[in-house]
A and B are shown apart, each in its own frame.
Chain A
Amino acid sequence: MSARARSQYCTFWVRGLYFGVAVGDVQEVLRAQGMTPVPLASDAIRGLINLRGQIVTALDLRRRLELDDDDERPEPMNVIVRGGGEAVSLLVDEIGDVIDTGERELHPTPSNLPEAVQSVLHGVIPLPEAILLVLDPDQAVEVTAAHPTGGKS
């Protein structure tokens, strides 16, 4: 089930990194949505959004990948993926095109990438103008609660 078989990717940028998710895993892409914060949850969880009556967890990829999150950024976009059997919204900086990588092969992730980034990738596909990081949605949405019991400090 390597990503070689899937050549179409929905792409987006997070902190200058060029990511792709196989189009089959993407449910839809939405503009910034109203969000309800979830106290006690992990930092990466920005809140809950109402997706036509379904409640979807919004996961900030910057924080999930432990990338620098200091500066202000434009309203994040929502990439709704199906990961681990549930719909989860990935908050990204900017949406790119749907691209077709054709016959290009999936390369293993370079080993010097930060662990937080490596752990969510299927691999990378070097393209002429950029290097596409192929995201594994199942891994990306694995976030444990920061405070497992929600107990007192």
Chain B
Amino acid sequence: MDEDTEIIAEFLVESHENLDQLDRDLVALEQDPTSRELLSSIFRAIHTIKGTSGFLAFGRLEELAHVGENLLARLRDGDLLLTGDLTGVLLRMVDTTRALLALIEETASDADPGTASGTPSGTGTVDVASVVAELRAALTPESAPMSPEGARVVAEGAPMAAESDSPSDPPHAAASPLPPTVLVLPPAEPEALIAPAASAPSAATTAPSATIAAPSGAIAAPSGEEETGKRGVVDATVRVDVDLLDNLVQLVGELVLTRNQILQRSDSGDDIELTRAAQRLDLVASELQESVMQTRMQPIGQVWAKMPRIVRDLANQLGREVTLLTEGHDTELDRSLLEALKGPLTHLVRNALDHGIEPPQQRLAAGKSATGTLSLRARHESGQVVVEIADDGRGLDHAKIAETAVRRGVITSEEASRMDAKELTGLLFRPGFSTAETVTNVSGRGVGMDVVRTNIERIGGTVDITSQPGHGTTCRVRIPLTLAIIPALIVEQGGQRYALPQANLVELVRVDDLAGQVHELAGAPVLRLRGHLLPLVDLGGVLRLGPAHDPEQQTALTVVVVQADDVRFGLCVGDVHDTQEIVVKPIGRQLKPLAVYAGATIMGDGSVALILDVGGIAQTHGLGATPVAEDAAEAVTEDGTALLVLEVGSGRRAALPLAAISRLEEFALSQIEHSGRDEVVQYRDGILPLVRLAPAIGLAETRSEEPLVSVVVHDRGGERVGIVIDRVLDIVEATSQRSEVGRRPGVLGSLVLQDRVTDLVDLDAVIGAAR
């Protein structure tokens, strides 16, 4: 009996995996209806389910899979072409299969609970017959004898999968006698058909254990086929019980503690052998700890993988045309967080399709393409996992939100009139709020966003919405780094060590010239840093430990420039240690209200260090409202080449790769001398040839009365060239693709930087012109 239960459990796990794959394949297949490979993969999955369910005497499941298989065989054979309707039917088959599996999990039988007592099936039962009939209907137009085709199926399938299905079942041959039987059945009769199947499991349970070898062999065969296919990743992994993993984490923790004690002992002793062994133990334990922690991390791709199906179904249901884009599949987070995130994300996706993306006609009327785009993006940022759900739909209608909120009694109209856009957006999260004009069964039942927010906040995350009317809505979910392994800078204050997540770190600055660089403005210290003013916050002050040093005697300042979201500030710390990979651990309930801590970690010596929450510090010190150069912020968070954006030729924008620039200089006009036809200046004991950028890239030179000229110095292998520009605007990271538009001598093309079209200077050509 136990062995049977085990086989069934295995069957369930395997079938669920197969079904997930099926979902993905079917949706992919819709895009590429003739893909033989996809069809074969789908066919195999269903065939496996059919075979095993037959052996385990799950009659209804077998029947369903069987008919589905027939249909698939016809598709693969090219007898039928996949249409949206057919995909729908097949997906319904997958759903029904899932429902049956759930039933099996619960009752160890696939018969409806009602059938045993002979009562007609009511609620809580699985309607197999109608799906089977639907599948058959899809088959019937050409359900005439088809043995030749059947033979061809096997032959053609062979190269793909070494089809082991041929001996046990020529699907078409089996199919032909069956369809008429079921089609004539009156709706009430399927139970009668099922009755023998319902009694079958008990027969199976009494089967001698010797026969068990057979099914596992049968199961192994199809998975063996997969090995030769493309799913190499699956083969490289082993399924492990989560409890076992948690247990491992605990054990490793104990091992680390013991290691620390041994290390202390060995340091104080003279036994060289012991010291050596202890060092090795140290290394191994550290690596083991790291690896074990990694096992808990799972890529968000697992959640992404479920989305194509959800989006497809919803889009069909709602009459939308949607392209789904996913990014950041590899972004890893702790599995418990991933689990908790699934529900809210699905809800947000539904919202985006229901409320965000408009029906095709509306989109066309608004001058957009009929097909909307839904983007799911995940990344690590500021020590958090950021997940974005962005659509290019209609955006939020603040007036409508206000109106609805007033109508629902969430706020008064007086309150509404005082609210700004951000506050109005916040109303979406109020319990019982929904803006859908018609309540659909997808979203808009009034249990929407507040539940999403509650669920995300439960795991310590936040969710916020930004929207551009007519251009779309972006939902940003931030999840804390709990249990993630992150690199962090260890700083010291008041004799204690604190960890600062590396993700928040911009740079380290040592300020020696206190009088010249640090100013107090109405009691608030600010640091002059490369022309920008940076608010300074003293960590000792934040933690109320008193200043790191006596301010009177202080001669230098260690400033960690940190950034959270778009707030950047300097954190003055007592001392800076090294950077380490730390494992973020949650802290007790009693400390949760302290926003300045993100958690705690265990240092190499076994002591506990608190992890600072840069966002929390900014928030509690009122830095959230301080606008800090947002473009500079982008430079840190976005990937890409850093570009120097400058103004040239009467307000035109151009960009140079920052890496090519060694210095920015200003020269007085009077300094410019001539050597032949070239302009030069004396610079650092040498002569710096100057190139005027505007003419070099085909623009008119700005007539300027300025006594100074701005020059960017390009240094290549000791050979310097000064490029004369009007002024430097900013440094940004390239975030868009270069376009060929505007390509001309001296210009490689153009880029969109900070929402402005900017020429990308061809430095080689410009410098070449100087010679």
Q: Which A residues are in CB contact (< 8 Å) with B589? A: 84, 86, 141
A78 interface residue (CB < 8 Å to B): no
Check if A40 sits within 8 Å of B596, measured CB to CB: yes
A26 to B125, CA, bound (A): 47
Q: Within the complex, what minimum Cβ distance (angstroms) separates B346 from chain A?
A: 28
Which of the candidate stretches B174-182, B230-238, B250-258, B755-763 sits at the interface with the other chain?
B250-258
Of the A-B pairs whose beta carbons lie under 8 Å apart in the complex, a sample of 7, sorted by A's number, is A38-B610, A40-B543, A41-B591, A53-B253, A53-B602, A145-B592, A149-B595
Check if A48 sits within 8 Å of B587, measured CB to CB: yes
Q: Given that A53-B253, A55-B585, A55-B600 are known contacts, is A145 also in contact with B543, CB under 8 Å in the complex? A: no
Q: Within the complex, what minimum Cβ distance (angstroms) separates B290 from chain A?
A: 13
Check if B254 sits within 8 Å of A52, measured CB to CB: yes
Q: Given that A39-B544, A53-B256, A152-B541 are known contacts, is A48 also in contact with B610, CB under 8 Å in the complex? A: yes
Within 8 A of A (CB), among B3-58: none
Chain B interfacial positions (CB closer than 8 Å to A) = 249-250, 252-254, 256-257, 494, 496, 541-545, 585-597, 600, 602, 606-610, 616, 619-621
Q: Within the complex, what minimum Cβ distance (angstroms) separates A72 from chain B?
A: 21
Check if B590 sits within 8 Å of A141, measured CB to CB: yes
Check if A143 sits within 8 Å of B590, measured CB to CB: yes
A112 interface residue (CB < 8 Å to B): no
Q: A34-B607, A41-B594 are in contact. List 9 more A-B contacts (CB 8 A).
A: A38-B594, A40-B596, A50-B607, A53-B256, A54-B253, A86-B589, A149-B619, A150-B542, A152-B542
A147 interface residue (CB < 8 Å to B): yes
Per DSSP, are chain B's interface residues mostly helix, strand or loop, or mixed? Answer: mixed
Check if B620 sits within 8 Å of A45, measured CB to CB: no
Tally inter-chain residue pairs, CB-CB below 8 A.
108
Check if A150 sits within 8 Å of B609, measured CB to CB: no
Check if B590 sits within 8 Å of A45, measured CB to CB: yes
Q: Which residue of B lies closest to A57 (CB)?
A: B588
Interface string of A21-36 (1 = CB under 8 A from B): 0000000000000111
Q: Which B residues are in CB contact (< 8 Å) with A53? A: 249-250, 252-254, 256-257, 585, 602
A148 interface residue (CB < 8 Å to B): yes
Check if B608 sits within 8 Å of A49, measured CB to CB: yes
Q: Which B residues are in CB contact (< 8 Å) with A57? A: 587-588, 590-591
A57 to B621, CA, bound (A): 26
A59 interface residue (CB < 8 Å to B): yes
Check if A150 sits within 8 Å of B616, measured CB to CB: yes
Q: Which residue of B lies closest to A44 (CB)?
A: B590
Check if A54 sits within 8 Å of B585, measured CB to CB: yes
Q: How many residues of A contact B (CB 8 A)?
A: 36
Check if B591 sits within 8 Å of A145, measured CB to CB: yes
List 8 A-B pairs, minimum CB-CB distance, nearest first.
A53-B253, A39-B543, A57-B588, A151-B620, A36-B608, A150-B596, A145-B593, A48-B608
A96 interface residue (CB < 8 Å to B): no
A153 to B543, CA, bound (A): 10
A147 to B600, CA, bound (A): 19
Q: Which residue of A lies closest to B619 (CB)?
A: A149
Check if B594 sits within 8 Å of A147, measured CB to CB: yes
A65 interface residue (CB < 8 Å to B): no
Q: Within the complex, what minimum Cβ distance (angstroms) separates B573 from chain A?
A: 14
Q: Within the complex, what minimum Cβ distance (angstroms) separates A152 from chain B?
A: 6
A37 to B256, CA, bound (A): 22
A63 to B655, CA, bound (A): 62
Interface centre among A49, A50, A145 (most CB of B within 10 A): A50
Check if A50 sits within 8 Å of B593, measured CB to CB: no
A88 interface residue (CB < 8 Å to B): yes
Check if B594 sits within 8 Å of A145, measured CB to CB: yes
Q: Within the complex, what minimum Cβ distance (angstroms) separates A13 from chain B?
A: 23
A151 to B586, CA, bound (A): 21
Check if A50 sits within 8 Å of B606, measured CB to CB: yes
A144 interface residue (CB < 8 Å to B): yes
Q: Which B residues are in CB contact (< 8 Å) with A45? A: 590-591
Q: Which B residues are in CB contact (< 8 Å) with A149? A: 593-595, 619-620
Q: Which of B252, B602, B620, B621 contacts A50 (CB 8 A)?
A: B602
Within 8 A of B (CB), among A53-93: 53-57, 59, 84, 86, 88
Q: Within the complex, what minimum Cβ distance (angstroms) separates B544 from chain A?
A: 6
Check if B608 sits within 8 Å of A153, measured CB to CB: no
Check if A36 sits within 8 Å of B544, measured CB to CB: no
Check if B595 sits within 8 Å of A36, measured CB to CB: no
Q: Which residue of A lies closest to B253 (CB)?
A: A53
Q: Which B residues are in CB contact (< 8 Å) with A101? A: none
Q: Which B residues are in CB contact (< 8 Å) with A150? A: 542, 593-597, 616, 620
Q: Which residue of A lies closest to B585 (CB)?
A: A55
Q: Which A residues are in CB contact (< 8 Å) with B585? A: 53-55
A150 to B594, CA, bound (A): 5
Q: Which A residues are in CB contact (< 8 Å) with B608? A: 35-36, 47-50, 55
Q: Which residue of B lies closest to A87 (CB)?
A: B588
A47 to B607, CA, bound (A): 11
Q: Given that A52-B254, A55-B585, A150-B620 are known contacts, is A42 also in contact with B600, CB under 8 Å in the complex? A: no
Check if B496 sits within 8 Å of A37, measured CB to CB: yes
Check if B593 sits within 8 Å of A55, measured CB to CB: no
Q: Within the complex, what minimum Cβ distance (angstroms) separates A40 from chain B?
A: 5
A57 to B592, CA, bound (A): 11
A48 to B589, CA, bound (A): 12
Q: Which B residues are in CB contact (< 8 Å) with A88? A: 588, 590
